[in-house]
Structure formats: structure tokens, C-alpha cells
Amino acid sequence: MVRIGLLTSGGDCQALNATMRGVVKGLANNVDQLEVYGFMNGYKGLIYGDYRMLTSQDFSGILTRGGTILGTSRQPFKLMRTPDENGLDKVDAMKQNYYKLRLDCLVILGGNGTQKTANLLREEGLNIIHLPKTIDNDISGTDMTFGFYSAVNIAAEAIDCIHTTASSHNRVFIVEVMGHKVGWLTLYAGIASGADVILIPEIPYDIDKIISAINKRKERGSGFTILAVAEGAIPKKIAALPKKEMKKEMAKILEKYPSISYKIAEDIQKETGLEIRVTVPGHTQRGGSPCPYDRILSTRIGSEAAKLILEKNFGYMVALVNGKIKKVPLEDVAGKLKGVDPECQEIADAKRMGISFGD
Ligand code: F6P
């Protein structure tokens, strides 16, 4: 008999169901008896004992279904050690529910914050396996997170659509791509869709450089320009400030504009007089079906998680490393953000193609 718990936490993404299916199928085919408990709405379900026993029926037909059959929520890591409004110690509560169900392992699907709590539960003695999900691809220790390529497809498609209308009207267009802290999604979607300017948090931008990229295109006869801008793009002048001041200055901008893209649009418009529009695909980037790449990655990650459970190998994140599925100790990676290296090959290649990063 094997008893496992499953939970999905943090922002959702496209291949959560596909990954859980991989885990459960990988176990069901290799043990006589399997009990699967699904905790509802992220860590909340584990804290407050909101769970249900899942059957093979629950995992049938979900390879292609986006979202998560368990629901999810954001539970900030910094509040995990803080008792709730009724004085309940959340970490104790999670441990009690784990032991009450006599789980052999808790499989946790989530991003950076989720991973930190997963590692905390590991330190508290629970058998944990973490599976790296996020459209942001910002988890250390894995080359790829599931959800990322599905989101790249959606963001790139949005930019493709903008391309045709931008060229018809000779307009400058900003497409704002998700990613407050890291620019992987913007970088990949921007390259995939032929954006002319790509702005990511890791490379603070100089507005004059962006304007000169637009003017250069005009001189060469291209009347339109497409900018792929990450939510977390930051002006060079502000990025150079001490952290506290930097946050204050960014907060001032976000008080005045719905997002940084609108500030960039206004700055370009003032300087060039060109017609400019902003498009924000927003949460569509996390929605819909996982792309085939993510379905395969998720199936491989889920299958490896099943193998680790059968071997009683706990305390790991399942990762993709140089094309191979590997186990990485949770303690080595928990809480480490994987940003884009401004010197990386993708950026060097893109710059050679004439893409401006505003630096
Ligand atoms: O972490 C994934 C992500 O989609 C980020 O790219 C984005 O900045 C954030 O979540 C949006 O969060 P929420 O769903 O809480 O609006």
C-alpha cells in the first residue's frame, strides 16, 4: 500500500493536471494498492484539513486540461510561521494532517514560494517531493519548468496578432508579458515572434535607447515597431538607486500608470509623436491547454516522481537538467530565483539579429 498527498500551490499554469496524472499513473501501474489524497486550494487544504480521496477517474482525461483539479491559492512563505487569526500554528496543522492520513509522501507542485514551504516541511521531517511549475521558468536547479512553453506559445501568438495590425497602421505597439521578477517568458516570446525591442527586469532600460531603436527602424523604412515588455521592466535610472528608494520610485510610477508599459508608451509618444498602443494578454498566458512540449515534460516529471516514491527517495525536486530528468536536493535550490543572465547566448544571438534590449 502506498499513500500519497497531492497539492498545487501558487499561481496556476497549464500542465499541473498533466503532471499529477503522471505521478498517479506511474504509481498505480506499479503498486497493488494506492491511496491518493488531494488537498484543496494549495497549502490551505493541508492547513485546514480540506482534502478528498481521489480515484483513477479523477485523473482520466486531464492530460490536456489547463488549471488544476485541486484548486490553488497563494500562501506567502513569510506568513507560514505566523499563527492564523484563530491562533492556529500553520506548520503544526500541516504536519498533523499529514500524519493523520499516514501519508508516505506529499507531492507538492508549485513555484518559488511553494518550494520554500515544501523545504520547510521537509526540514520538519515530512517526506516531500517538489515538482517545478511556473510560466516564469525562474526555479533554480532545473532548465525548464512545466507551464513555461505553453505560456511562451500564448504570448508569442499575441505578439504575432499585434504584428499584422501594427504594420497595417504603422503604429508602435507594446505587448506586456508576465514576469515581475524575471524575463524568461518575455525573452522567449519576444524572440519567437520577432519583436524589435525586448525589455526584461534583468536588463534595466534606457528610454533614449528604445527611442533610437524605433527611429532607426523608421529610417530603414519600417513604420511600425513591436516591443515585448516584461511586467517587471525597470528604467536604468531607477534600477541604479538603493533598493528602498528604487521600490519607492517604482511604486510612484505604478500609482500613476496601470503598469510600466503605459509609462514607456507615454515617454515614447512624447518624444516621437508616434501613434502607440499597449496590449496586455495578462492571465491568458496561464490559461488553456498545455502545449505538447509541456505535456511531455510533465509526464516525464510525474513519472520520475512516482519512481522516487517507490524507491522511498524523498526531499527532492524533480528537474530537467541537460535534457535528462534528474532529482535535485530541495535544500540546494529552495528559495533561489533563476533570472536571465544578461550575458546568455539567447541574448547575444538576439542582439546580433538587431533586437534592442534598451541597454
Ligand atoms: O508566477 C506566475 C505569474 O503569472 C507571474 O508571471 C505574474 O507576475 C504573477 O504570477 C501574477 O500573479 P496573480 O495571478 O496573483 O495576479
Tens-place pLDDT, residues 172-204: 999 999 999 999 999 999 999 999 999 999 999
Within a domain: residue 136? yes
- What is the Å distance from ligand 1's center to 217 Cα? 33
Final residue of a domain: which of 252, 286, 320? 286
pLDDT digits (tens, 9 = 90+) for 318-350: 999 999 999 999 999 999 999 999 999 999 999
User: 110 CB less than 6 Å from ligand 1?
Assistant: no
What are the distances in angstroms from CA 348 to CA 177, 182, 307, 314, 357?
Answer: 21, 18, 39, 39, 11
| Nearest-angstrom CA–CA distance, 304 and 325 | 7
Query: What's the confidence (pLDDT) of residue 77?
Result: 93
CATH number assigned to the domain comprising residue 31: 3.40.50.450
- What is the Å distance from ligand 1's center to 198 Cα? 19
pLDDT digits (tens, 9 = 90+) for 257-295: 999 999 999 999 999 999 999 999 999 999 999 999 999
User: 176 CB less than 6 Å from ligand 1?
Assistant: no
Query: What's the confidence (pLDDT) of residue 277?
Result: 98
When divided into structural domains, the chain yields a total of 2
Same domain, 105 and 168: no
Query: What's the confidence (pLDDT) of residue 168?
Result: 96
Mean pLDDT of 101-114: 98
Within a domain: residue 230? yes
Provide the ipTM: 0.96
Query: What's the confidence (pLDDT) of residue 252?
Result: 98
Task: Centre a 10 Å sphere on the Cβ of residue 79 and count the other Cβ atoms it contains.
Answer: 10
Closest by CA to 30, choosing from 5, 2, 7, is: 2
Same domain, 192 and 314: no
Q: Determine which residue's CA is closest to atom 12 belonging to ligand 1.
A: 11
Active site residues: 136
Within a domain: residue 166? yes
Closest by CA to 184, choosing from 222, 206, 161, 151, is: 151
Mean pLDDT of 83-99: 96
Same domain, 255 and 309: no
Same domain, 19 and 138: yes
CATH number assigned to the domain comprising residue 199: 3.40.50.460
Mean pLDDT of 156-164: 98
Query: What's the confidence (pLDDT) of residue 46?
Result: 98
| Nearest-angstrom CA–CA distance, 73 and 76 | 10
Final residue of a domain: which of 271, 286, 301? 286
Within a domain: residue 301? yes
Domain containing 47 equals: 2-147+290-333
Q: Determine which residue's CA is closest to atom 2 belonging to ligand 1.
A: 11
Show binding-site residues for substrate.
Answer: 134-136, 171, 178-180, 231, 277, 283-286
Show binding-site residues for Mg(2+).
Answer: 112
- What is the Å distance from ligand 1's center to 170 Cα? 32
Mean pLDDT of 17-21: 98
Query: What's the confidence (pLDDT) of residue 341?
Result: 98
Query: What are the residue ranges of helices labelled H in 179-242?
Result: 184-192, 207-219, 236-239
Query: What's the confidence (pLDDT) of residue 143?
Result: 98
Same domain, 157 and 272: yes
Query: What are the residue ranges of helices labelled H in 132-235?
Result: 148-169, 184-192, 207-219
User: 139 CB less than 6 Å from ligand 1?
Assistant: no
- What is the Å distance from ligand 1's center to 55 Cα? 31
Same domain, 155 and 143: no
Same domain, 165 and 258: yes
Mean pLDDT score of the chain, rounded to an integer? 97
Within a domain: residue 355? no
Same domain, 189 and 281: yes
Share of the chain above pLDDT 70, in %: 100
- pLDDT-based confidence at 147, cuts 50/70/90? very high
Within a domain: residue 139? yes
Q: Is the Cβ–Cβ distance between 136 and 155 less than 8 Å?
A: no
User: 358 CB less than 6 Å from ligand 1?
Assistant: no
Query: What's the confidence (pLDDT) of residue 56?
Result: 93
User: 138 CB less than 6 Å from ligand 1?
Assistant: no
Same domain, 168 and 84: no
- pLDDT-based confidence at 13, cuts 50/70/90? very high
Show binding-site residues for ATP.
Answer: 11, 74-75, 111-114
Query: What's the confidence (pLDDT) of residue 172?
Result: 97
- pLDDT-based confidence at 55, cuts 50/70/90? very high
Same domain, 133 and 25: yes
Task: Centre a 10 Å sphere on the Cβ of residue 359 and count the other Cβ atoms it contains.
Answer: 14
Final residue of a domain: which of 286, 306, 321? 286
Same domain, 156 and 142: no
Same domain, 188 and 320: no
DSSP annotation of 103: -
Within a domain: residue 345? no
Q: Determine which residue's CA is closest to atom 10 belonging to ligand 1.
A: 11
- pLDDT-based confidence at 217, cuts 50/70/90? very high
Query: What's the confidence (pLDDT) of residue 302?
Result: 98
